């Protein structure tokens, strides 16, 4: 199963708001209300010779403009827009004009109050407007017309719809922000896992070059290792940036996925960086999904990088345990030997992300990770990752893959060979 970034899933959702900008929508609403209210102006609909007086025409035109033009700013000033809508409705009622268009503008204003006003002040203001409208409704319904209560129900419904729209926007914004945060976390983890190991080794080798600088050429060899590690780090960084670059959905970019078969190369690089590490494989290997295999590799690589940072030259043991229902990982190092540091030399700093990143990788597949420091200065990282998350139907014991690229019969010999290399301290 291929895990996809939450950010990529959110960015593929339909973005209907791109079809019409909010500003364009507000202008359309204002134009629609204006077109609805213009027929109420006396010059528009009276027969020739029966048009209204000039004050009547100007007053009706002013009311029509007041119930439409302010809606261009209904998002930034919902309360003043609602106040104007209420005023226009009251004026039309007093002048015995048609109330349909004015009430329509009031409904739009009530929706805007629920959708765009501050949540803290929204309900208090709405209670005030509702109390005023109910008082007017009581006066209107004294003649026994119970249908007069319907407009108040419509106003309440418009406000509730606006409030629901505001809640949906908040949820969508929270989802996008969570997706962005998850993507930032993923990028940070990948950068740390891919590049930090090489950079830590570079820092250790650079410090060793200062100590080993001598006429016998030992310093030149160390600097050559520094150069090689730097080039590898740059290559890995280029691969990572290529994977993060936006690509078509049917051609997603993928980082070169390391496998447990490459542990020999990883341990050789650790030994070159001054960490004598050996590998032991216990139990019958079983097939693992690519995701679990990458996570296991990254956990081991990060643990070795921590040894290079905090306990250079400490003897280190890497153990893979193929158990009944899970794969166990153990990376344990002894106390670091006392090494004289030149004046001004500093131990490479740690941002505290290593253990957290290893734990996240283990928990991603239903596993767990623990760390423990020993009294003598050693440190142990243990992880358990269940097989069922890998979807391996055969389970352990089929002996077909294991540490890929190594036949099961050759596992003990290979492990012993690596352990003997670690004992040389090279």
Q: What CATH number should be reported for the domain holding residue 293?
A: 3.30.565.10
The answer to whether position 60 is within a domain reads: yes
User: d(Cα 395, Cα 382) in Å, to the nearest integer?
Assistant: 21
Same domain, 267 and 169: no
Sign of the Cα torsion 403, 409, 415, 417 reads: negative
SS (H, E, C) the chain: CCCCCHHHHHHCCCCHHHCCCHHHHHHHHHHHHHHHHHHHCHHHHCCCCCCCCHHHHHHHHHHHHHCCHHHHHCCCCHHHHHHHHHHHHHHHHHCCCCCHHHHHHHHHHHHHHHHHCCHHHHHHHHHHHHHHHHHHHHHHHHHCCHHHHHHHHHHHHHHHHHHHHHHHHHHHHHHHHHHHHHHHHHHHHHHHHHHHHHHHHHHHHHHHHHHHCCCCCHHHHHHHHHHHHHHHHHHHHHHHHHHHCCCCCCCCCCCCCCCHHHHHHHHHHHHHCCCCEEEEEECCCCCCCHHHHHHHHHHHHHHHHHHHHHCCCCCEEEEEEECCCEEEEEEEECCCCCCCCCCCCCCCCCCCCHHHHHHHHHHHCCCEEEEEECCCCCEEEEEEEECHHHCCCCCCCCCCCCCCCCCHHHHHHHHHHHHHHHHHCC
139, 152 in Cβ contact below 8 A?
no
Same domain, 308 and 167: no
User: d(Cα 236, Cα 195) in Å, to the nearest integer?
Assistant: 7
The larger pLDDT score, comparing residue 340 to residue 84, is at: 84
> 399-419, pLDDT tens digit by residue?
334 444 333 333 333 333 333
pLDDT at 128 over 70: no
Per-range mean pLDDT, top range of 13-22, 122-131, 311-320, 350-359: 311-320
Same domain, 139 and 47: yes
pLDDT given at position 397: 39
pLDDT given at position 372: 92
Residue ending a domain, among 157, 176, 195, is: 176
Same domain, 128 and 31: yes
CA atoms within 13 A on the CB side of 65: 6
The answer to whether position 91 is within a domain reads: yes
> 50-106, pLDDT tens digit by residue?
555 677 778 788 888 888 888 888 888 888 888 888 888 888 888 777 788 888 888
Please, what is the average pLDDT of the chain?
A: 72
The answer to whether position 204 is within a domain reads: no
Residue 284 in tokens: 């019958």
pLDDT given at position 49: 52
26, 77 in Cβ contact below 8 A?
no
Per-range mean pLDDT, top range of 299-308, 385-394, 410-419: 299-308
> 344-361, pLDDT tens digit by residue?
444 444 445 678 888 888
The percent of residues in the chain predicted with pLDDT above 90, rounded, is 9
pLDDT at 390 over 50: no
pLDDT at 329 over 90: yes
Averaged over 311-316, what is the pLDDT?
A: 87
The answer to whether position 81 is within a domain reads: yes
> 360-381, pLDDT tens digit by residue?
888 888 899 999 998 888 899 9
Same domain, 280 and 164: no
Q: Which long-range contacts (CB under 8 A, 24 or more apart) does 404-413 make?
A: 404/259, 404/260, 404/261, 404/293, 405/259, 405/261, 406/261, 408/284, 408/285, 411/281, 411/285, 412/281
pLDDT at 223 over 90: no
pLDDT given at position 253: 46
pLDDT given at position 384: 94
What are phi and psi for residue 372, nearest 5 degrees?
-150, 130
Residue ending a domain, among 124, 155, 176, is: 176
pLDDT given at position 164: 82
Residue position matching structure tokens 């226009």: 88
Averaged over 27-31, what is the pLDDT?
A: 88
Closest CA to 383 of 373, 394, 369: 369
pLDDT at 342 over 50: no
pLDDT at 45 over 80: no
pLDDT given at position 121: 65
> 275-291, pLDDT tens digit by residue?
889 999 998 888 888 88
pLDDT at 267 over 60: yes
pLDDT at 424 over 50: no
Same domain, 19 and 162: yes
pLDDT given at position 174: 86
pLDDT at 144 over 70: no
The answer to whether position 84 is within a domain reads: yes
User: d(Cα 38, Cα 97) in Å, to the nearest integer?
Assistant: 12
Residue ending a domain, among 141, 176, 211, is: 176
Sequence-distant (6+) residues with CB within 8 A of 144 are none
pLDDT given at position 96: 75
pLDDT at 21 over 90: no
The percent of residues in the chain predicted with pLDDT above 70, rounded, is 59
308, 336 in Cβ contact below 8 A?
no
The answer to whether position 415 is within a domain reads: yes
Averaged over 206-227, what is the pLDDT?
A: 65
How many domains are there within the chain?
Answer: 2
Q: Strand order in 326-333's β-sheet?
A: 277-282, 316-322, 326-333, 379-386, 368-373
pLDDT given at position 399: 38
pLDDT given at position 114: 82
- Angle (nearest 5°) at CA 126 between 120 and 127: 105
Sequence-distant (6+) residues with CB within 8 A of 45 are 39
User: d(Cα 368, Cα 30) in Å, to the nearest integer?
Assistant: 59
365, 3 in Cβ contact below 8 A?
no
**Pairing, β 277-282 against β 368-373:** unpaired
Q: pLDDT band at 398, cuts 50/70/90?
A: very low
Same domain, 294 and 421: yes
Closest CA to 329 of 282, 374, 375, 289: 282
pLDDT at 383 over 90: yes
The larger pLDDT score, comparing residue 53 to residue 15, is at: 53
Same domain, 413 and 285: yes
Same domain, 12 and 158: yes
147: alpha, beta or left, given left = phi > 0 and alpha = psi -120 to 50? alpha
The answer to whether position 303 is within a domain reads: yes
Structural domain boundaries enclosing 267: 259-336+351-426
The larger pLDDT score, comparing residue 29 to residue 145, is at: 29
pLDDT at 385 over 90: yes
The answer to whether position 237 is within a domain reads: no
């Amino acid at each position: 199963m291929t895990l996809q970034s939450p950010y990529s899933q959110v960015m593929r959702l339909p973005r209907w708001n791109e079809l019409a900008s909010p500003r364009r929508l507000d202008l359309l609403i204002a134009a629609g209300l204006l077109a609805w209210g213009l027929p109420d102006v006396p010059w528009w609909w009276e027969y020739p010779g029966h048009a209204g007086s000039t004050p009547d025409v100007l007053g009706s035109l002013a009311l029509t403009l007041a119930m439409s033009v302010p809606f261009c700013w209904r998002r930034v000033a919902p309360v003043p827009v609602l106040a104007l809508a209420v005023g226009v409705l009251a004026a039309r009622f007093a002048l015995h004009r048609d109330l349909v268009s004015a009430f329509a503008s009031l409904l739009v204003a009530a929706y805007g109050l629920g959708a765009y006003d501050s949540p803290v002040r929204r309900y208090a203001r709405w209670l005030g407007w509702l109390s005023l409208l109910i008082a007017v409704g009581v006066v209107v319904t004294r003649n026994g017309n119970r249908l007069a209560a319907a407009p108040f129900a419509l106003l309440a419904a418009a406000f509730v719809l606006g409030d629901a729209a505001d809640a949906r926007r908040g949820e969508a914004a929270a989802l996008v922000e969570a997706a962005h945060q998850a993507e930032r976390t993923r990028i940070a983890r990948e950068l740390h896992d891919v590049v930090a190991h090489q950079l830590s080794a570079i820092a250790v080798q650079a410090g060793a070059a200062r100590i080993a600088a001598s006429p016998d050429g030992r310093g030149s060899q160390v600097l050559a290792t520094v150069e090689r590690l730097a080039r590898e780090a740059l290559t890995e960084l280029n691969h990572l940036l290529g994977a993060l670059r936006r690509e078509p959905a049917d051609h997603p970019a993928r980082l070169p996925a390391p496998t447990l078969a490459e542990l020999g190369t990883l341990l050789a690089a650790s030994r070159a960086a001054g960490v004598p590490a050996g590998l032991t494989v216990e139990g019958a290997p079983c097939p693992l999904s690519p995701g679990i295999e990458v996570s296991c590799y990254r956990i081991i690589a990060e643990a070795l990088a921590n040894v290079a940072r905090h306990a250079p030259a400490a003897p280190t043991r890497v153990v893979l345990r193929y158990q009944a229902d899970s794969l166990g990982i153990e990376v344990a190092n002894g106390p670091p030997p006392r090494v004289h540091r030149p004046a001004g030399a500093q131990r490479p700093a740690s941002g505290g992300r290593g253990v957290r990143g290893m734990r996240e990788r283990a928990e991603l597949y239903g596993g767990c990770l623990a760390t423990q420091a020993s009294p003598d200065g050693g440190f142990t990282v243990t992880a358990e990752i269940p097989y069922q998350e890998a979807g391996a139907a055969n389970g352990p014991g089929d002996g077909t893959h294991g540490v890929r690229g190594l036949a099961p019969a050759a596992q003990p010999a290979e492990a012993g060979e690596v352990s003997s290399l670690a004992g040389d301290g090279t």
